[in-house]
């Protein structure tokens, strides 16, 4: 497997994790919003429920934003490792054989 193949795999995995986190976040947001939406229809507690909905949505968003940031940094780290290994391989076999 070439360094280019490894880099493509690294990018593919990073993209898959990012897309997966976004999809799960959307589902999580929808599931969390459903009962709060029903409770929000009760006039005496509508204001408090609105605050709870906002806090819940922001909290869920922050968790998945963190997952995406960690994934990005892991991707940067993996890229650096692959580049270093590629350079070491080039030095060990300068003729590319």
Q: Give the per-residue pLDDT at 97.
A: 57
19 in a structural domain: yes
61 in a structural domain: yes
Q: Give the per-residue pLDDT at 94.
A: 65
97 in a structural domain: no
pLDDT tens, position by position, 7-39: 999 999 999 999 999 999 999 999 999 999 999
DSSP state string for 13-29: HHHHHHHHHHHHHHHHH
Supply the pTM of this predicted model. 0.81
Q: Give the per-residue pLDDT at 91.
A: 74
39 lies in which domain range? 3-89
Q: Give the per-residue pLDDT at 36.
A: 97
For residue 85, what are the contacts with CB-CB under 8 A and spacing of at least 6? 3
* Number of domains observed in the structure of the chain: 1
pLDDT tens, position by position, 59-97: 999 999 999 999 999 999 999 998 888 777 667 766 655
Contact of 29 with 57, CB cutoff 8 Å: yes
């Amino acid at each position: 497997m070439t360094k280019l193949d490894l880099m493509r795999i690294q990018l593919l995995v990073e993209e898959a994790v990012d897309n997966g986190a976004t999809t799960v976040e959307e589902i999580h947001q929808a599931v969390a919003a459903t009962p709060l939406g029903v409770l929000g229809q009760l006039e005496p507690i509508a204001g408090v429920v609105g605050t709870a909905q906002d806090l819940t949505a922001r909290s869920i968003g922050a968790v998945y934003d963190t997952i995406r940031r960690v994934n990005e940094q892991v991707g940067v780290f993996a890229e650096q490792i692959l580049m270093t290994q590629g350079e070491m391989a080039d030095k060990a076999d300068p003729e590319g054989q």
